[in-house]
A and B are shown apart, each in its own frame.
Chain A
Amino acid sequence: MLRSILALGKSLLNSLRDLAPIILVITFFQLVVLQQPIPDLGGLLGGTLLVTLGLTFFIYGLEMGLFPIGESMAQAFSQKGSVFWLLVFAFTLGFSTTVAEPALIAVAAEAAKVAANGGMIESSEHAMHSYATGLRLTVAISVGLAIVIGVLRILKGWPIHYLIIGGYAGIVIMTGFAPPAIIGIAYDSGGVTTSTITVPLVTALGVGLASSIRGRNPMVDGFGLIAFASLTPMIFVMGYGMII
């Protein structure tokens, strides 16, 4: 009992240390640069307490739930030996975690505004809504494909940098043809697709796969799934902007 309380206290302190920089930055700019009092000190302290508790629980649950399930599924798939179902799983995981991602919904709505302003689509509510939905599906499909490509890479042992450099070349070529208004959003869409829950799960999946296949090094082959998931949306969003 005492030991678990001590462990909890230690991880709370760790979380507080993780959050200290952000609190310092905000206080410094508020008091020294903008020279204004902190509007709601009680709320700020209460919020900081919630954030600290939240981060502690998250890290705790991460090592209890997300990491083990990702790895045990990777092992189960490699024992079952069915590449087809593994790839179906990879696609479904990528697609389903992305399509409902709040950051993506926000970006898609912004993109629809840009498209309507630029005269690419009608500026009616209906046209903007269907544009945004199409964009979300496009990004979700591209993330699903990215995880499939990433998993195939782990299975085959392809070196990652050829694929990534190929992806970069794709982005550069698409940039030359895509309508200028969509470029900023396309570049940003790469970063927003991977949420806080997806990242640990996908990382555990990749590392688990690489460690259960003989001849693969978890460090060299296990990482890289997230990299694909943040690369393909850029290409697909620019493609979407060109077609519509």
Chain B
Amino acid sequence: MEWLTGLFHSLLATLRDVLPIAVVIFGFQLLILRRPIPHLKRVLFGFFYVLLGLSLFLQGLEQALFPLGRLMAEQLTHPDFMQNGSAGLQHVLNWADYYWVYIFAFAIGFSTTVAEPSLIAVAIKAHQVSAGAIGVWGLRIAVAIGVAVGISLGTWRIVTGYPLQYFIITGYVMVIIQTYYAPKLIVPLAYDSGGVTTSTVTVPLVAALGLGLAESVPGRSTLLDGFGLIAFASLFPIMSVMAYAQISEFRARLDARKKV
């Protein structure tokens, strides 16, 4: 029965999320646009499914995957786990000893992004709009690789303690350079993919990883160093999506040259 009350709570939380949107949409539709909504019944059913789906989704994550994932982030960053391999020798840890953390960051970044509902939505839309030129899976994998690389680099930054802004500003410079070389059609979508990657699934697990790591690495403060992983996760997909488009364009050009 416990999961039923949990489900009720996540239903309420989702309702609170949807309510302002519904008020704005129907308010403008009735007061400003003053025209009936086409297929009103269908749209209302759609909203109901979104509400129900998101609640079930959140409840399931909260019940099964999040507790385990959070516990895992804590255990992997714990000094006891690091010391295991060195047979009781209390040597000073250097950044390379945290290799399982980087691997975990990569894997969890990739897998949570693939399951992110808002990314699926944007990929479906991009597929429709581009008349099939942009594959749903191609885009999602490209974004997921970006997030994975970003988060593992972000955990490395927490371990080494370099200032966040140097990484982010370097990233911006990369994005600007790529913007000039990437196919023009992909640029807005690439910029968007930075913002859509980090929502329901990714943020809770990644935040736990960052805070756990900042707590256990000597000399780091949770408040100053625990943040920043989300910033990495929303910057790197911009680069990886543009790179994906550049690679596909390059391959198409190679194919065209072969045929001639």
Chain A interface residues (CB < 8 Å from chain B): 18-19, 21-26, 28-30, 33-34, 38-39, 43-69, 72-73, 76-77, 80, 85, 89, 92-93, 96-97, 99-103, 110, 113-114, 117, 160-161, 164-165, 168, 171-172, 175, 180-181, 183-185, 187-188, 190-201, 203-204, 207, 218-227, 229-230
Contacts and interface: CB of A to CB of B under 8 A. Distances in A.
Given A22-B112, A191-B195, A65 B17 contact: no
Interface of B: 3, 7, 13, 16-18, 20-21, 23-25, 28-29, 32-33, 35, 37-39, 42-65, 68-69, 72, 75-76, 81, 100, 104, 107-108, 110-112, 114-115, 117-118, 120-122, 124-126, 129-130, 164-165, 168-169, 172, 175-176, 179, 184-185, 187-189, 191-192, 194-201, 203, 223-231, 233-234
B53 to A, nearest CB: 3
A50 B37 contact: no
A219 B65 contact: no
B122 A203 contact: yes
B50 A191 contact: no
Contacts of A43: 63-64
A167 B80 CA distance: 44
A6 to B, nearest CB: 18
A227 B192 contact: yes
Contact of A51 (B38, B64, B185): B64
Contact of A21 (B21, B69, B115): B115
Given A76-B33, A194-B118, A223 B57 contact: no
Nearest to A106: B207
Given A19-B115, A57-B49, A29 B104 contact: yes
B16 A29 contact: no
A219 B63 contact: no
Contact of B231 (A51, A77, A85, A190): A190
A22 B227 contact: no
Given A50-B60, A73-B25, A219-B189, A22 B111 contact: yes
Contacts, number: 340
A27 B97 CA distance: 22
Nearest to B198: A191
Contacts of B60: 46-54
B37 A100 contact: no
A152 B196 CA distance: 21
A22 B129 contact: no
B189 A175 contact: no
Nearest to B129: A218
Contact of A25 (B111, B164, B172): B111
A65 B45 contact: yes
Nearest to A164: B191
A68 B39 contact: yes
A69 B43 contact: yes
A38 B175 CA distance: 42
B125 A227 contact: no
